[in-house]
Amino acid sequence: MHVLTDNWSAYWHGFLGTLWLTLVSAALALVLGVVVAGFRVSPVKPLRAFGTGWVTVLRNTPLTLLFFIVVLGLPRFDITLPFFTFAVLALGCYTSAFVCETLRSGVNTVPVGQGEAARSLGLTFTQTLGLVVLPQAYRAVVAPLGSVMIALAKNTAIAGSFSVVELLGTYRTLNELGYGIVWTFVWIAVGYLVLTLAISALFNLLERRVAVSR
Amino acid sequence: MTVESSALYDVPGPKALARHRLYGWLALLVIAAVVGWVVYMLFHTQQFTYQKWTPFQYKGVQELLLRGLGNTLKAFGWTVLFALPFGALFAAGRLSDHRAVRWVCTLVVEFFRAMPLLVMIFFIFVALKAPPMWALVAGLTLYNGSVLAEVFRAGVLAVPKGQKEAAYALGLRKTQVMAYVLVPQANRAMLPTIVSQLVVALKDTSLGFLITYEEFLHAGKLIATNLDYDLPFIPVVMVIAPVYIGMCLLLSWFAKWLERRGRRDPKVKGGAPVAPAGLTPDPQG
């Protein structure tokens, strides 16, 4: 216990770093994911091809390799940003591929008849999308999106090895201070559990909110 | 033109088609501009100089890369070898009739699924002082084995109840029911999911880079940070990334192929439902 209380500020700092990294990357991933999902279901062929390529490549790229490319590669193009921004870029782009696939399969769960019925009622494209298709897709998307976000929170641990302040990285400081390594890790694990459980509770709440008997 | 989700819009008429074509050209233009900018930057920052690419002709460098690739595949191989039995064991434990066994197995599986893989790898590496490769393999085994345990369990539970009841009615014992009736049927539905999980394991072997395991990425970094070769970072990425992505893609395609084959098989039609919903793990790692 004293490992935690003695080093509360280090842990708290790391925890906030992980939390912040998760939130910002999640925002980027959601925006990118929505855009790419839009590309993938659009009637415009080059956009569809781009979306497919984006998802296929990113889903099959090891995240460490992506970090490697972004953190060490972009500076060669004279693009120098803070490490935090690099980490957000890598995590956000990587996760966007999974968000995109979740959204796309969500849209695909809406029966074709729903869209056809909406159009035959005279709804415009925006109305069809906003009033009929998306509200139904949203319900199917919440639960899998929750697992994507949990995976994102877990993946932020990699950023620590690329000079970003986050929870796992605190072990180095504490190790140098001579604290028991096992307990150091126990509290790190607790930190991650708190974060993932919180995300999971949040999405459970959302899921219960939007649940309707279908 | 095949449109995947036609719930969104009608079959386009001539006017809409013309508009889509216009958008298509505009999109192509933007994509071409981005690609052009990247290529320009590559030339501008002199990534294609002789000095940066000659190292790849050296025998030593080639061997270094191959050794790295070999180590990556070695870690992956060990992981597969350990994770599958681990998953089977804990899936069986979670399906056990004994409450204590069930609880312990549930606890273990849920814990390792909830922990970031890297935290476990670092713990094994730093606290238990394991050599890098075994720290990596152990971490990967615990995580992927736990996910696989859930896959196995879901697969066995998805076999129609009548199968189990019929097997018991024939007088088979508990182990026999599992081994002769449930697992063979579940196996077919699970196979694609198992292979997709192996893609995750293959991707995650690159985490070994962070604990100084001498795998593919590590070899790349050694070459990329060599001043004698004029820091050929981008060339190294151009060599390494396609190999990594290619390996994962091949395995992903294999999973997809297995899934299609399972769905097409006439023997399956009308029999056990294949690939029940909720069985797919997140391939994110």
DSSP 8-state assignment for residue B230: T
What pLDDT was estimated at residue A16? Answer: 92
- In whole angstroms, what is the distance from residue B87 CA to residue B120 CA? 17
Contacts of A115 in chain B (CB under 8 A): 6-9
Contact assessment for residue A44 and residue B23, using Cβ atoms and an 8 Å cutoff: yes
Gap between the Cα atoms of B68 and B189, Å rounded: 35
| Residue in B with minimal Cα distance to A131 | B8
Task: Please identify among residues 26-45 of chain A the ones whose CB lies closer than 8 Å to any CB of chain B.
Answer: 40-41, 43-45
Q: If DSSP codes are grouped into helix, strand and coil, which group holds residue A44? A: coil
Question: Tokens standing for A92?
Answer: 């956000």
The answer regarding whether domain B68-264 maps to CATH 1.10.10.410 reads: no
Would you tell me how many other CB atoms lie within 10 Å of the CB of residue B21? 12
Q: How far is A13 from chain B (nearest CA, A)?
A: 17
What does each C-alpha distance from A133 to A40, A127, A137, A142, B2 come to in angstroms?
16, 9, 6, 15, 20
Q: How many CB atoms lie within 10 A of CB A153?
A: 23
pTM: 0.88
Any CB–CB contact under 8 A between A144 and chain B? yes
Task: For residue range B92-127, list pLDDT tens digits in order.
Answer: 999 999 999 999 999 999 999 989 999 999 999 988
What is the distance of C-alpha A154 from the center of its chain?
A: 10
Parts of chain B with a pLDDT under 70: 1-7, 265-285
In 3D space, the residue among B18, B7, B66 whose CA is nearest the CA of residue B220 turns out to be B66
| CB-CB under 8 Å, A155 with B116 | yes
Put simply, whether A198 touches B (Cβ < 8 Å) is no
Q: How far is B219 from chain A (nearest CA, A)?
A: 12
State the Cα–Cα distance between residues A134 and B8, nearest whole angstrom.
Answer: 10
ipTM: 0.87
Question: What domains can you pick out in chain A, each with its CATH number?
Answer: 2-210 (1.10.3720.10)
Query: By CA distance, what is A199's nearest residue in B?
Result: B114
Closest by Cα among B257, B263, B261 to B275: B263
Helices B59-94/B216-224 angle, 10° precision: 150
Question: pLDDT at position A160, please?
Answer: 86
Chain A residue numbers touching B283 (CB-CB < 8 A):
59, 98
The reply to whether A122 touches chain B by the CB within 8 Å rule is no
Degrees to nearest 5, angle at CA A155 with A190 and A16? 55
How far lies B102's CA from each of B52, B54, B165, B187, B280, in Å? 57, 58, 21, 22, 23
Q: Which two tokens stand for residue B65?
A: 């890369």
Q: Which of A56, A65, A148 sits opposite B206 (nearest CB)?
A: A65
Query: Which run of H or of E encompasses A101?
Result: helix A83-109
Nearest Cα to Cα of residue A107 among A37, A208, A54, A204: A37
Picking from A132, A144, A131, A63, the residue whose alpha carbon sits closest to that of residue A103 is A144
CA nearest B159: which of B185, B141, B131, B136? Answer: B185
**Using DSSP, how many helices (H) and how many strands (E) does chain A show?**
10, 0
pLDDT given at position B265: 60
Closest chain A residue to B21, measured at CA: A44
A120 CB within 8 Å of a chain B CB: no
Cβ–Cβ of B7/A95 closer than 8 Å?
no
Whole-number percent of chain B with pLDDT over 90 = 62
For B42, counting Cβ atoms within 10 Å of its Cβ (0-12 exposed, 13-18 middle, 19+ buried), the class is middle
Tell me which residue has tokens 């140098």: A176
Count the residues in chain B. Answer: 285
| Cβ–Cβ gap A45/B24 under 8 Å | yes
Taking one residue from A and the other from B, the number of pairs with CB-CB distance under 8 angstroms is 164
* Nearest-by-CA chain B residue for A127: B8
| Residue B274 pLDDT | 47
| pLDDT of chain A, 214 residues: tens digit per residue | 677 777 888 889 899 999 999 999 999 999 999 999 989 988 888 999 999 999 999 999 999 999 999 988 888 888 888 999 999 999 999 999 999 999 998 888 888 888 889 989 998 888 888 888 888 888 889 989 999 999 999 999 999 888 888 888 888 888 778 788 888 888 899 999 999 999 999 999 998 888 765 5
DSSP one-letter string for B72-128: HHHHHHHHHHHHHHHHHHHHHHHT-SSHHHHHHHHHHHHHHHHS-HHHHHHIIIIIS
